[in-house]
Amino acid sequence: MTTLSIIPNSYAIDSDVFPTLSLAERDRRWRLVRDFTSQQGLDGLVVFGWGRNANDSYFTNEESHAIVLMTGAEDPMMFLGDVPINRYDGAGARYERWVENWKHGNPIGSLAEEIRSRGLAGANLGVVGLSSRAVGQWAGVVPFSTWNRVLAELPQVTWVDVADAFETLTLVKSAEEQEMVRKAASLGEAASAAYVAATRIGALESEVTAAAVNAIIGGGGWMRAPFILERAGKHRFGWGQPEWFGMGGKPHTLERGDSIASELFAYYGGFESQQQIDVVIGEPDRLLRELEEVCLESYQAGMAALRPGIRFSELAEIMDEPLKRSGTWNTGPMVQTVAPVIFNSATRINPGVDPALAHLPALPSGVGLDGDFEITEGVAFAFEPNALRDGRRVCIGGTVMLTDRGIEELNTIANRLVVVDA
């Protein structure tokens, strides 16, 4: 097995460089989609750009959540509910637009009218949006009533759901796209540093969370749902958004011996990176160090195994093995793809090993490996090994990208348990 070089992120935390995508990248994507459509035996493609992954942006390079139609050699057309007036003022004029063809008003009516005018009322058309591999969007992003209207307007069209193949296509990043991922991860690194700096005895957990969010947005990035996951305290095995997000109440005040952890979702120009920052106040006890060792072993095993040609299922199995051997369990995947998040290793592996769960009415349901593909250069991952036992949890890791230069380790701060003075 060939071991690849590990390369650090080329963007410094305080980098003042803000990359963008060029018209050459636009043309590359459009050619790729036209080839994809032809290979699928389709006359065109309709993409609903709703939901977390905003698939319309692959064609438009902006997050307008439009419906996009692409047929033959014609440029894509966007269908919007309203006039995109943000294009036409001075602020909007700073940005280069990829798609000039748009219609506003009734998006479904306009889409059907355009398909008929192109002589495609009886065509085979691919559709993206009825289903998805994206987390939380398995049932797609198109409402039932909306899709019924499409079918009523275009009863002779044969619709082919190609979401899985299309989303997999977008996983492989060009050189320009890789620059965007590097920038996103650098914002996540800045957020990790801010998170650590804000963690202290007496701080509210919300203050620590806010520091990370501020670093991402202040650095020129953005966030998408679920925005940030966070949990704090001495006893925690749950994972998700903290209760005060939705229920109110005072956020927890950090104390000696607490740990606070978050899954950060740092976006730049629509490209996602992830960081699993985990901070403990005061010297960690033996159990936390044991859990950290499981995570470190998983992370390092994944770095050693990652290469072109390996399948995602193989990488997942390698990263799962330290967890299975250790008598611990996990509440999130050990590894997943990012930008988009569509392939995930198994979650809640064997929770029955943990005596701290004995009081639960039922054990958490396990979720197996979600999908598989052959890994190539240009794919980015969230390495996020996590291990739990006896009411304690450790999760570490950041964004890792496989390129023609080797393995790029785009984050460092979150790659082990961070200790701050009590």
Answer whether residue 397 is part of any domain: yes
192 in any annotated domain: yes
Alpha helix (H) residue ranges in 74-174: 107-117, 144-153, 163-171
> Are the C-beta atoms of 418 and 355 separated by less than 8 Å?
no
Count how many residues are written for the chain: 422
What the block records as the tokens of 130 is 């009825």
pLDDT digits (tens, 9 = 90+) for 98-148: 999 999 999 999 999 999 999 999 999 999 999 998 887 888 999 999 999
Q: How confident is the model at residue 51 (pLDDT cuts 50, 70, 90)?
A: confident
Beta-carbon neighbour count of residue 213 at 10 Å? 19
The CA-CA-CA angle for residues 258, 261, 267, to 5°, reads 155
Residue type at 291? Answer: L
Name the residue range of residue 52's domain.
41-161
Q: Which residue among 118, 135, 161 closes a domain?
A: 161
State the CATH number of the domain containing residue 358: 3.90.230.10
Query: Could you tell me if 215 and 262 lie in one domain?
Result: yes
At residue 156, the pLDDT reads: 98
- What total of structural domains would you count in the chain? 2
Q: Per-residue pLDDT tens for 294-339?
A: 999 999 999 999 999 999 999 999 999 999 999 999 999 999 999 8
| Cα–Cα distance for residue pair 240/255, rounded to 1 Å | 21
Contact yes or no for 230/262 (Cβ under 8 A): yes
| Same domain flag for 111 and 190 | no
Are 143 and 184 found together in one domain? no
User: Which of 105, 131, 161 represents a domain boundary (last residue)?
Assistant: 161
Q: Among 127, 161, 195, where does a domain finish?
A: 161
Please report the sign of the dihedral spanned by the C-alpha atoms of residue 143, residue 148, residue 153, residue 159. positive
State the first-to-last Cα distance of the chain, in angstroms, to the nearest integer. Answer: 44
The torsion defined by the Cα of 346, 352, 356 and 362, in degrees rounded to 10, comes to: 90
